[in-house]
Chain A
Amino acid sequence: MITLKKLFSHTVLTFALSAAALGVIGCGGVNLDNQPKYKPLAASRFFANGQSSRPLVEGTVPRGSFTTDSLLITGKVNGKLADLFPFPVTEQVLERGQDRFNTFCSPCHGRLANGEGMVVRRGFPQPPSFQTDSVRAMPAGFFFDVITNGFGRMYSYAPSVPVRDRWAIVAYIRALQLSENVAVKDLPEAEQHQLLGKAQ
């Protein structure tokens, strides 16, 4: 027969063991909030420089993106900057180019590619306007090359802008150059009316 005293001591023992077990799980077990795995850019004590991400070996290309299409990846054909696009320029490409241009280029070059971006007003040396005859005469591959490799004080934008986006930007630069240098008589009739109507 179980005496009251025995029941009491059993209860105490059960509680004590449960508490101890919880303690072991809580302290020595896996912490689910911070699991032993690396998230992007996490620090590491394993590698000498303290970074968990390893630098890319030079010449590494993402799987599936290797190509020998020289025009696409360098803007050159037979070693010379080409005035060609490696893929058809559609409305979608132009829209992507507008979005990327406004994000990455407009801070310095301005939204009209006239070299009057906000960062220039803060003291960054002014880049040339793209709306001059000499820049307008540059081949498309030239702009691609500048985005890829940088130019003068401009750093390379290859790390932040993928290849196809660079071409989309070049296409949009062409659109901007056109839009800022078009004669009124070359506009569609409806827009001519609108423009002249406003000017009067």
Chain B
Amino acid sequence: MAQLFHPRSTVISKASIVIVIIVLTSVIVAATEIYRSGYTTGQNVAREQPIPFSHKHHVNDEGLSCAYCHTSVDKSSFAGIPPTYTCMTCHSQIWTTSPMLQPVRDSYQTQKPLEWIRVHDLPDFVYFNHSIHINKGIGCETCHGRVDQMPLMRRQNTLFMAWCIDCHRAPEKYIRPRSEVFNMTYEYPKNQEAFGKKLVKEYNVQVNRITDCSTCHR
């Protein structure tokens, strides 16, 4: 009886096993990377806005506090996007003829709000609340990054649940004194581990409950 398989087929079959493993692994790695990349998550991608508003200029050059515009950040789930009125508080007097600010003046005159494009958009089944984070000593910068260095707004983090949980499991790694919440250049002390634990206790952070599903999902 003639041989069913050619001598080479052993090599081919072994090689094909290796190739299949390599191909499968690459596909999984590639898919994960694409899923995590800014292309999919929007991380670090600056959106085109009705006005190229610069946080860098307003925060870093002018020294405005985050709360000057985001007035409800310490008392509401929503930090608040300022009405055109807030822009005009200064821009009724300075840069009054700048073409870049024409949409602001139009909006103020016609009472039609500017339509900013949302940069941080959580899924609707996440009930995130700004005020609790601010009042428990989580700095703006911890989640939003160095906004004072962003000429155009972008999302510093993925907003993946794994990223939220990282802090919810160990808030002592990220907590800071309440007085430093709006500070963009806060430096954690060397003994952050111990200092953080002290703050967690002092601010009564409910460490046992902040990893419950129902804390963020209802």
Contact = CB atoms under 8 A, between A and B. Distances in A.
Interface of A: 32-35, 37, 39-41, 43, 49-51, 102-104, 107, 118-119, 122-125, 153, 155, 159-160
Contact of B93 (A32, A41, A49, A153): A153
Nearest to B125: A32
B64 A35 contact: no
15 contacts: A32-B125, A35-B124, A39-B124, A40-B77, A41-B78, A41-B113, A107-B68, A119-B94, A122-B62, A124-B93, A153-B92, A155-B89, A159-B71, A159-B85, A160-B68
A119 B90 contact: yes
B29 to A, nearest CB: 26
Query: Interface of chain B, helix or strand or loop or mixed?
Result: loop
A40 B75 CA distance: 14
Contacts of B93: 123-125, 153
Contacts of A160: 68, 71, 86
A104 B88 contact: no
B135 to A, nearest CB: 13
B90 A40 contact: no
A15 B115 CA distance: 45
B25 interface: no
A125 B90 CA distance: 10
Interface string B67-85: 1100100000110110101
A35 B124 CA distance: 6
B124 A32 contact: yes
Contacts, number: 59
B129 to A, nearest CB: 12
Contact of B81 (A34, A41, A155): A41
B36 interface: no
A35 B218 CA distance: 13
Nearest to A121: B62
Contacts of A39: 78, 124
Given A153-B93, A160-B71, A160-B86, A118 B65 contact: no
A43 B115 contact: yes
Given A51-B113, A107-B64, A159-B85, 14 more contacts: A37-B124, A40-B77, A40-B78, A41-B81, A43-B115, A103-B67, A103-B68, A107-B68, A107-B90, A119-B62, A124-B90, A155-B85, A155-B89, A155-B92
Interface in B96-142: 112-113, 115, 123-125
A179 B113 CA distance: 42
A104 B123 CA distance: 33
Nearest to A157: B89
A198 to B, nearest CB: 26
A157 to B, nearest CB: 8
